[in-house]
Structure 1
Amino acid sequence: MTSTQSIAVGGAPPAPPVPTPFNGRLIVGLLGVLIAALASGLNNRVTDIALNDVRGVLGMGFDEGTWVRAAYAAAEVAAMMVSAWCAVTFSLRRFAVAVVLLFALLGAVFPFVQGFNAIIALRIAQGLLGGALPPLLMTVALRFLPPPIKLYGLSAYALTATFGPNLAVPLVALWTGPVGWQFVYWQIIPPCLIAAAMIAYGLPQDPLRLERFRQFDWVGVLTGCGGMAALVIGLEQGERLDWFNSPLICVLLGSAAVSLVVFCINEWHHPLPLFKLQILARRNFSHGLLALGGLLTVFMSGSMLPSLYLGQVQDFKPLEIGPLALSIAIPQLLAAPAAAALCNLRWLDSRFVMATGLALLVASCFAGSFLTSDWGRDNFYLLQAMQALGQPLAVLPILMGATGVVQPMEGPFASAMFNTVRGLSTAVGATVIEVFIAHRERFHWTMLLDRAGNLAGRLPQTAVGARLGSQVHEQVVVLSLADAYLLIMGIALALVILLMVLPVRALPPQSVFIQPSK
């Protein structure tokens, strides 16, 4: 069988699909997919942040809570690898509606589940369904949007990485405060029901393509999804179990390394792979994956670090931190379309737009490195303003450059690869920042306790335990977070260097036939 015949039997057409007329009904369907993707992201972030508040209600200790988080994250990344394949096989509309409704159903029953094993099983199922939704948003944007507004559709996809995560903190404050902890899980029900109705109404119905199972990539699913799940769990549990001193972590990370090597070899030769690795030869696509992974870590300087400081040093509650998170989230509704409008200008090189966004992120991190224990919430608003502008300016050119070298029939492959990198990078970035902060805290504890020991001998004993210990802990947190700002600033500077050497200029979409770049 020739390569062309293999593609045809596998169900991927050798020619680009016939464009669907863009009309109001289709817009409704696209908005429905956007709402579903945002609900998925909110469910992930809100349940993670609220875990300390609800695990006591669910009868779990700290260790059990870490496994609940790891199970969801691993399942989410695994689902991102196969979501686009399932959407093509079962039809986009049918698959999206089924996933959204099941996702809402599991959220409805979760507060009533008893027992650790049952909770883990349900979180794995939620992760699989939640992880399947973000790739669908990129898939529909690439497939249905006409060239003049394609970047605005990609800006909607960018909102799932910039708007959703920053909306999580105020929602946690609302659900765990005056409303009720059950809404941590029930919050997805209304948007999912609305999204399912909009998708069913607006998206066209494709035929079932079950013949694709004849060439289903079983090896890719087992090695890719299994390897990614093992890697994410190993990263999530590594610091708690002392990394390579734990046999479990050694097995997880070792099996992940072997599985992912086999996965890459299999995907290169498979006639209908989950990932089309040949696309990586296009410089803009490779740059997009690398830059997206780094940016998701950089974005944590606008959400994770201020929340840690205000919570641990200033003893702020989530309700008090909420306005700071909203100062990034709300402007995204205007900043993301504005960034798309800039990238749509043919005379403006999108690489300069990205460089501007990265410069704002670098400046925000540099300012954050001067953090002291005298800072309050108001001191962060200038940093948050730079984040609110810098995030969409940095991420939209990445999406434009990467998707501009993807031909229409390659959209599902690009969506699977982009979203898997996104899910994995979130886990890797959070682990890197948390491990870095933990090690810097130990370093600063040692340094400050040496100085405090000399000071303690000259203080009354009643003041030593209470005042000195509290002050040392406060300074340890402040110094560690300031170091974390510098680390993230270094990552952003590395992305600037990568921008100067790897991508070529990408022009705004002009026609449905997109020519691959160099």
Structure 2
Amino acid sequence: MSATASTDGLILPSQMSTAAKVFAFATMCVGMFIALLDIQIVSASLRDIGGGLSAGTDETVWVQTSYLIAEIIMIPLSGWLSRVMSTRWLFAASAAGFTVASLLCGAAWNIQSMIAFRALQGFLGGSMIPLVFTTAFAFFAGPQRVIAAATVGAIASLAPTLGPTIGGWITDHFSWHWLFFINLVPGLFVTFAVPAFVRIDKPDWSLLRNADYLGIALMALFLGSLEYTLEEGPRWDWLGDPVIATTAWLAGISGVLFVWRSLSYAHPVVDLRALKDRNFTLGCFFSFMTGVGIFATIYLTPVFLGRVRGFSALDIGLAVFSTGVFQIMSIPFYSYLANRVDLRWLMMFGLGCFAFSMWQFSPITHDWGGLELMLPQAFRGMGQQFAVAPAVTLTLGALSPVQLRLASGLFNVMRNLGGAIGIALCATILNDRTNLHFYRLAEHLNSSNEAMNAALAGSGSNFGAWLGDSASASTAALRQLWGLTYREALTMTFGDTYIVIMVGFIATTLMVPLLKKVAPPKAPSADAH
């Protein structure tokens, strides 16, 4: 792993052996993986966490929401902070802080402390995600860069996908505390390994003098308010709730002011001027849409299996596991084709697989389980690999090193925003369309429906023999009928939701030819940082 150090203590990528670069890059990928994994690792175990901390559903959901809000604020700050602190020390500090916050989450004594520690965990871990993207382009060129982009793209979509599976297994075999304690060993490894092997730039503390602190405050207010609005809006009737209405207005006003500040200030914290590049603008949109596809489907499938099928956390994890398996199987095929085929065609294939997967999900019925979900999830897994990885190269590959640092945070935050908006859209559709389907089904459940009358009579007889009271038996039979009707209405709504996502991906697929082809440089420049 040796490399020749320059006089100022740096080890430039051009001075590192391939083995050294691969090891350093893999070490950073470990940090990125655990930061992304923790977004969804609690999703299948919120009930257990709430039970362990004596918290209700409304409070427990903040275990996930607080992490997302804090992370989405930190991600776009990472480019500027890496210039201030250097890549090695920002990444090491993030990994150390994330590890300590994970320990505190596992030791949380009530729901309030858990929410606070999860926010801290998300904020401290958020910078590790975009730093891996920028370092991949600094370390590698040509075919190696394509493989690195494929790896980063795989982690970006695979880690959240595996979250419910790993979380469900841990909770079922150990306890919810170990959802956080598993971060300790990899977190400590990254904390000490990155400073030793990633020395590609040096800190520039003078940037603190001209920093856009007003822009940072406006961005934090904008992203935090927007994330809160999207997370809580579906549960509280959107603008019908005064708190949601307030945060929506705050997001809108601070968002406009943040854009104005970023375009007018000489040293913005996020380089919105990169949006002048057509590939970058379109790439941010594609990142947004892949976020919708990844996070919305991660949300929908566990909710279906939990509410309709009554699966446990482990059963849910096992049922969705096939997505990750097929994505991993797709990595070598993508890596082979990416050096031989126009990345735009591969991206169209990936987005098309996403759309086809949603179409296969749409005829879902109440008895679907892991076997029935396997084929749709197989296409989703392939779609994730073939859509995310080329988006990374096509969007970031043509930017200069300085632009890359400031713009990669925006590219990554768009994926998280896509996930937040996608989940909010899905939750809203589930709330509204379930009621519509229920009322339509209920219209046919009247005294003239002979099948219903026969079913009620049979259920009434069974309940009567058990309860010994005809009135109670009739009530129980009606309640059973209501439950069956609601189950079918909810299942039909899941099908509607998948169709909506499918339409979005069809439109996105048709936009890919607007991208310009990107030819990666043959070698990274010595002054890349």
Same fold (TM over 0.5): yes
Counterpart-to-counterpart distance in 1, 2:196 and 2:305: 45
> Which residues in structure 2 correspond to 1:361-372 (within 5 Å)?
361-372=354-365
Change (3 A) 1:70 1:373: closer
Counterpart-to-counterpart distance in 2, 1:154 and 1:236: 30
Matched, 1:251 2:263: no
> Which residues in structure 2 correspond to 1:365-404 (within 5 Å)?
365-404=358-397
**Contact 2:426–2:497 (CA<8 Å) still a contact in 1?**
yes
> Which residues in structure 2 correspond to 1:37-436 (within 5 Å)?
37-204=32-199, 206-300=201-295, 302-345=297-340, 348-436=341-429
Secondary structure of the corresponding residue to residue 244 of structure 1: helix
Quote the residue 2:503 is aligned against: 490
* Post-superposition offset of 1:301: 6.3
* Post-superposition offset of 1:457: 5.6
**Contact 1:335–1:392 (CA<8 Å) still a contact in 2?**
yes
The amino acid that maps onto 2:353 is L
Deviation readout 1:221-277 (Å, 9 max, x if unpaired): 010121100110111111222211222111111111111111111111222212212
Counterpart-to-counterpart distance in 1, 2:194 and 2:442: 59
* Post-superposition offset of 1:308: 2.8
Counterpart-to-counterpart distance in 2, 1:266 and 1:275: 10
**Contact 1:301–1:365 (CA<8 Å) still a contact in 2?**
no
Q: Please tell me whether Structure 1 or Structure 2 has the larger radius of gyration of its CA atoms.
A: 2
Change (3 A) 1:250 1:376: closer
The amino acid that maps onto 1:149 is Q
Matched, 1:443 2:451: no
* Post-superposition offset of 1:168: 1.4
Quote the residue 2:15 is aligned against: 21
**Contact 1:45–1:165 (CA<8 Å) still a contact in 2?**
yes
Specify every segment of 5 or more residues in structure 2 that has no aligned partner in the other structure, as ranges.
1-10, 461-472
* Post-superposition offset of 1:397: 1.9
**Contact 2:154–2:389 (CA<8 Å) still a contact in 1?**
no
* Post-superposition offset of 1:511: 4.2
* Post-superposition offset of 1:302: 4.9
Secondary structure of the corresponding residue to residue 273 of structure 1: coil
Change (3 A) 1:272 1:114: same
Number of residue equivalences: 495
Quote the residue 1:470 is aligned against: 483
Counterpart-to-counterpart distance in 1, 2:166 and 2:177: 12
Counterpart-to-counterpart distance in 1, 2:266 and 2:502: 42
For the aligned residue pairs, the C-alpha RMSD in angstroms reads 2.2
**Contact 1:150–1:509 (CA<8 Å) still a contact in 2?**
no
User: What TM-score, normalized by structure 2, do the two folds share?
Assistant: 0.88
* Post-superposition offset of 1:300: 4.4
Counterpart-to-counterpart distance in 2, 1:288 and 1:205: 27
Change (3 A) 1:286 1:72: same
Deviation readout 1:102-139 (Å, 9 max, x if unpaired): 11111112233334443332222112112121011112
**Contact 2:287–2:412 (CA<8 Å) still a contact in 1?**
no
Change (3 A) 1:147 1:220: farther
The amino acid that maps onto 1:97 is A
Counterpart-to-counterpart distance in 2, 1:329 and 1:423: 19
Deviation readout 1:433-460 (Å, 9 max, x if unpaired): 1111221111111111222244456633
Counterpart-to-counterpart distance in 2, 1:397 and 1:349: 9
Change (3 A) 1:338 1:200: farther
Deviation readout 1:486-507 (Å, 9 max, x if unpaired): 011011111012224x312233
Counterpart-to-counterpart distance in 1, 2:107 and 2:313: 25
Counterpart-to-counterpart distance in 2, 1:255 and 1:145: 42
Secondary structure of the corresponding residue to residue 353 of structure 1: helix
Secondary structure of the corresponding residue to residue 266 of structure 2: coil
Matched, 1:503 2:497: no
Deviates more, 1:119-128 or 1:98-107: 119-128
Counterpart-to-counterpart distance in 2, 1:300 and 1:115: 28
Counterpart-to-counterpart distance in 1, 2:358 and 2:224: 31
Deviates more, 1:114-123 or 1:75-84: 114-123
Counterpart-to-counterpart distance in 1, 2:353 and 2:57: 37
* Post-superposition offset of 1:211: 0.4
Secondary structure of the corresponding residue to residue 235 of structure 2: coil
* Post-superposition offset of 1:205: 5.9
**Contact 1:50–1:172 (CA<8 Å) still a contact in 2?**
yes
Counterpart-to-counterpart distance in 1, 2:281 and 2:251: 22
* Post-superposition offset of 1:509: 4.3
Counterpart-to-counterpart distance in 2, 1:70 and 1:376: 28
Counterpart-to-counterpart distance in 2, 1:139 and 1:479: 43
Deviates more, 1:121-130 or 1:327-336: 327-336
The amino acid that maps onto 1:477 is L
**Contact 1:89–1:209 (CA<8 Å) still a contact in 2?**
yes
Quote the residue 2:466 is aligned against: none
Change (3 A) 1:320 1:131: same
Counterpart-to-counterpart distance in 2, 1:32 and 1:194: 8
Counterpart-to-counterpart distance in 2, 1:120 and 1:172: 18
Deviates more, 1:448-457 or 1:264-273: 448-457
Counterpart-to-counterpart distance in 1, 2:369 and 2:45: 23
**Contact 2:294–2:419 (CA<8 Å) still a contact in 1?**
no
Counterpart-to-counterpart distance in 2, 1:80 and 1:61: 30
The amino acid that maps onto 1:21 is Q
The amino acid that maps onto 1:361 is F
Secondary structure of the corresponding residue to residue 15 of structure 2: coil
1:36 corresponds, among 31, 34, 41, to 31
Counterpart-to-counterpart distance in 2, 1:134 and 1:275: 16
**Contact 1:163–1:330 (CA<8 Å) still a contact in 2?**
no
Counterpart-to-counterpart distance in 2, 1:120 and 1:301: 23
